[in-house]
Structure 1
């Protein structure tokens, strides 16, 4: 992997089980280009393969933008194909198969594909000045990276339709009131708050969290019968883990559990 690809997205271990992924193109408002897409493909695969990673926080550098979406300069030069992975979609992320928890730390605006990336995460922590928008229709485009169906699942349909049809942004405070984001914090605290949320999740049994999220992510799409079957299968897998025995034992012994993730 070239240095150029490495530096457009950085990864650092924030703690034993949490990593921080940062889009590093602040001069381009962290817009997604082919290099970012290639790097994100590797990062998703690496975090999925590493059993010591239980949660990931995704943010953007520079303090002004989480992500502005596609790099329109690269698109205008015919490079749109490089921004879309055949299996994982835009930025090698929006349709990627992921079992680990991802939290978006939106410190600034999340526009177009940037908003869609945040919608593909499991949780969102936003700064007070964050904005969310799907402005594609203003340019004769559509939000084809998941925004058209994920946004109406996350907020009231009428509001989602308004955002999609007008392309106008909403503030962090309105996003919180609508249930789009988990919390709104001071700008300088955005990443810290997202990491703290990740750490709180990591106090729990990692396989139980992953299996629970795996079912919960399907809650809107599948029938109750199908979800009951998925839930039972997840429970069967959890019962085979060492952590399944450790949780009740730690409770009886009045101590913190020692999760091993297997």
Structure 2
């Protein structure tokens, strides 16, 4: 195994113990069989080594996370997205954050056969987001428009249409219509859909000719729902089982990227920036058939939620074994604590016409009346006063500092859940099922 000298850091007295603990883990990984082939004794040995290294990482970051973040961002003069931040940290502090090579090796394996390097990313990002200075800067960096959206913007301004692999964006009469079109998998989310959603949300926010955004599911080709519109089946469990759902590129990018932009808007240079730092717009969600898991999570950030009378909502976090994004942070303020526990901990399904569902849904309509209801909702939210008032409502209901603190803990807890034995067993069973 090639040895790497410890890099110079702001705290040389603390670093050697972390470096040595990380080197021991690397040595074991290099000599032991792959995770699936290890004996109980070997698993215990490497678990002990990983725990020791992670203890050192937590101690190091508790004292020095802001110094580390300042070095990576050149004193917070660079805006690094979360995926860029962990990449830069791996290059600058290789014992602190897993390298691209280690992550690539893990990514090529099924979830059950991975080393779990993403847990170390979770430790790092928990510390960054836990810092009022570094965490706030990272949240702002994630509100900036993506490079892909900026490249597509001129063509979208000209044509009013953008087709991505999983979402179609169309501009009609001052409104943006985002249609999730993963017709084969019931709009189950994976990294591609997260990337596409952030792109089209950016475009809708950046286009000055758009006043309101609408999100709806398209018609499905899935055998059980052929020809029907479906909102979302949540996380793609087959992708999770295959090891293709990552902590950073999917779970954190989703929450800190397009969903947070639905709440706060996009941070960009714009006319009138002295009045408000971000460009934000009102959003409407139209639910057909069901909104499961991540699909239900989305509804909590929309300004108006329509649902077909035969549709339902569910957030089966306990069944899947993972943390449902910021759902735990947001659902209770809609339904109250008892219903949120029933939904999240016990998998309760809310049918659109139930009284408790009306705490999440604004308007229930017959399925064949959904198009007309969407049109009416768009007209209601065109008022210039809507943007200012939604901004004030969001500040009151979801203060940025509370969101930052929640996401700090989420970064680690979700990383741990990804590698929980119960999660691995469950997604293995679900992977072979149709939704």
Question: 2 CA distance for matches of 1:126 and 1:75?
Answer: 28
Structure 1: 4+ residue segments shifted above 4 A: none
Displacement of 1:31: 0.8
Is 1:130 matched with 2:296? Answer: no
Is 1:84 matched with 2:265? Answer: no
Contact between 1:176 and 1:184, CA under 8 Å: does it hold in 2? no
In structure 2, what is the equivalent of residue 164 of structure 1? 344
Q: 1:47 aligns with which of 200, 204, 217?
A: 204
Q: Deviations over 1:140-174 (max 9, x none)?
A: 2221x111121101112211221111112110011
Q: 1:6 aligns with which of 164, 172, 175?
A: 164
Question: 2 CA distance for matches of 1:61 and 1:175?
Answer: 27
5+ residue gaps, structure 2? 1-147, 153-162, 220-227, 266-279, 400-435
Question: 2 CA distance for matches of 1:78 and 1:122?
Answer: 34
Is 1:121 matched with 2:279? Answer: no
Is 1:216 matched with 2:396? Answer: no
In structure 2, what is the equivalent of residue 19 of structure 1? 176
Structure having the larger proportion of residues in helix: 2
Report the 3-state secondary structure (helix = DSSP H, G, I; strand = E; otherwise coil) of the residue aligned with 1:52. Answer: coil
**Residue 56 to residue 136, structure 1, CA distance change in 2 (3 Å):** same
5+ residue gaps, structure 1? 223-262
Contact between 1:154 and 1:180, CA under 8 Å: does it hold in 2? yes
In structure 1, what is the equivalent of residue 366 of structure 2? 186
Question: 2 CA distance for matches of 1:131 and 1:22?
Answer: 19
- Please report the RMSD computed on the Cα atoms of aligned residues, expressed in angstroms: 2.3
Q: TM-score, normalised by structure 2?
A: 0.46
In structure 1, what is the equivalent of residue 353 of structure 2? 173
Displacement of 1:84: 3.4
Q: TM-score, normalised by structure 1?
A: 0.75
- Indicate the structure (1 or 2) with the bigger Cα radius of gyration: 2
**Residue 198 to residue 170, structure 1, CA distance change in 2 (3 Å):** same
Contact between 1:54 and 1:100, CA under 8 Å: does it hold in 2? yes
Q: Deviations over 1:49-82 (max 9, x none)?
A: 1111111110111235210111111122222124
Displacement of 1:37: 1.3
Question: 1 CA distance for matches of 2:348 and 2:194?
Answer: 26
**Residue 221 to residue 10, structure 1, CA distance change in 2 (3 Å):** closer
Aligned length: 214
Report the 3-state secondary structure (helix = DSSP H, G, I; strand = E; otherwise coil) of the residue aligned with 1:142. Answer: coil
In structure 2, what is the equivalent of residue 246 of structure 1? none
**Residue 69 to residue 109, structure 1, CA distance change in 2 (3 Å):** same
Contact between 1:59 and 1:191, CA under 8 Å: does it hold in 2? no
Is 1:104 matched with 2:270? Answer: no
Displacement of 1:183: 0.6
Displacement of 1:175: 5.4
Structure having the larger proportion of residues in strand: 1
Question: 1 CA distance for matches of 2:189 and 2:240?
Answer: 10
1:25-64 equivalences in 2 (<5 Å)? 25-62=182-219, 63-64=228-229
